[in-house]
Structures are given as structure tokens and as C-alpha cells.
């Protein structure tokens, strides 16, 4: 299915959980924050939160800054 991930279109497996998405993208669940349709999903819900077609997903982390 199609989602928007960090502003780009991504095709990912259907009905995948956030945990599944992170595995699919090879991203470690550490020091990240995820929003789906502008709402933060707590890490405790990553395994049960299933994504839907056209969801807008943002994966955020900390980078160097002043």
C-alpha cells in the first residue's frame, strides 16, 4: 500500500504495524518519535498500531543543533 513517509511516497506491505514498518525500513526503535497523521504514536503502541493506505507518517530523531 501507499503511504507518505517523511514527505515522500513509499510503498509498503498492506496492514503493517509501526513495528513492522520500522523493521521493513531497517530502523532501530531508539531515540525516535513517530507521528501518524499529525498525532504522536507512543512507543508502547508500535506493535498494535496498524497503518492504513495514505497515512502520513513522520519518523523524527535528534540531530546536531544549537
Partner 1 sequence: MPKLTINDKSYNSRLIVGTGKYKDLTETKQAILNSGAEMVTVAIRRMNIGQDKNLPNLLDYLDPKIFTILPNTAGCYNAKDAVRTCQLAAEILEGEKLVKLEVLGDDKTLYPNVTETLKAAEQLVKDDFKIMVYTTDDHIVAKELENIGCISIMPLASPIGSGLGIQNEYNLLTIKENSTVPIIVDAGVGTASDASKVMELGCDGVLMNTAIACAKDPLLMATAMKKAVESGYDAYRAGRIPKKFHASASSPKEGNVCD
In angstroms, the CA 38 to CA 36 distance is 5
The strand pairing partners of 11, in sequence order, are: 2
Q: What are phi and psi of 27, to 5 degrees?
A: -115, 130
Residues within window 32-51 making contact with partner 1, judged by CB under 8 A: 32-35, 40, 42-43
Check residue 4 for interaction with partner 1 (CB under 8 A).
Answer: no
29 binds partner 1 (CB under 8 A): no
Is the Cβ–Cβ distance between 20 and 13 less than 8 Å?
yes
Closer to partner 1 at the Cβ: 14 or 28?
28
Which listed residue (13, 25, 54, 56) binds partner 1 by CB under 8 A? 25
Amino acid at each position: 500500500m501507499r503511504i507518505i513517509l517523511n514527505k515522500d511516497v513509499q510503498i509498503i506491505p498492506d496492514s503493517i504495524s509501526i513495528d513492522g514498518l520500522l523493521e521493513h525500513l531497517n530502523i532501530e526503535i531508539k531515540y525516535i518519535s513517530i507521528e501518524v497523521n499529525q498525532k504522536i504514536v507512543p512507543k508502547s503502541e508500535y506493535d498494535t498500531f496498524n497503518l492504513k493506505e495514505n497515512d502520513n507518517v513522520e519518523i523524527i530523531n535528534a540531530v546536531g543543533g544549537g
